[in-house]
Amino acid sequence: TNQVFRYAKRAGASYINKPKMRHYVHCYALHCLDEDASNALRRAFKEKGENVGAWRQACYKPLVAMAARQGWDIDAIFNAHHRLAIWCVPTKLRQLCHAERNNAGASSSTSGGAITGPS
């Protein structure tokens, strides 16, 4: 992330809260990869009066869906985009992709005679 902040300073940014920015890297990634979806999500949360934390959490889901379409390789998605390549993939995003991949694999490999629970 130091590389990002050095670049921002050279580009004319006067101040960026570095510790806080790392919590929003995935939101920035969504904005870079799908600006329309990012704007729609932000607008929807603002109209509902939701707080920033709820919006921040909601930004993960579209990125996990993108990773699913790309073979779960979230690193490749970040590295392929010129504005995201200098950022590390957030740990939580990586964990969510891993968990979702495992869920998708488990649901596709279950047999037809599985027990579904009480009816």
DSSP per position, 43-65: HHHHHTT--HHHHHHHTHHHHHH
Between residues 14 and 49, the one the model is more confident about: 49
The answer as to whether 82 is a domain residue is yes
In which domain, by residue range, is 35 found?
2-106
Tokens of 54: 């709820």
Tokens of 85: 């390549």
Q: Report the pLDDT value the prediction gives residue 24, as an integer from 0 to 100.
A: 86
Residue 113 has pLDDT above 50, yes or no: no
Helices 91-109 and 60-69 pack at an angle, to 10 degrees, of 50
Mean pLDDT of the chain: 83
What gap in Å lies between CA 66 and CA 42, rounded to an integer? 18
Q: What is the CATH number of the domain that holds 76?
A: 1.10.4180.10
Count of domains forming the chain: 1
Taking only the tens place, the pLDDT of each residue in 77-86 is: 999 999 888 8
Q: Report the pLDDT value the prediction gives residue 19, as an integer from 0 to 100.
A: 66
The answer as to whether 116 is a domain residue is no
What gap in Å lies between CA 23 and CA 93, rounded to an integer? 11
Task: Give how far the C-alpha of residue 63 lies from the chain's centroid of Cα atoms, to the nearest Å.
Answer: 4
The answer as to whether 14 is a domain residue is yes
Taking only the tens place, the pLDDT of each residue in 7-36 is: 666 666 666 666 677 888 999 999 999 999
The answer as to whether 117 is a domain residue is no
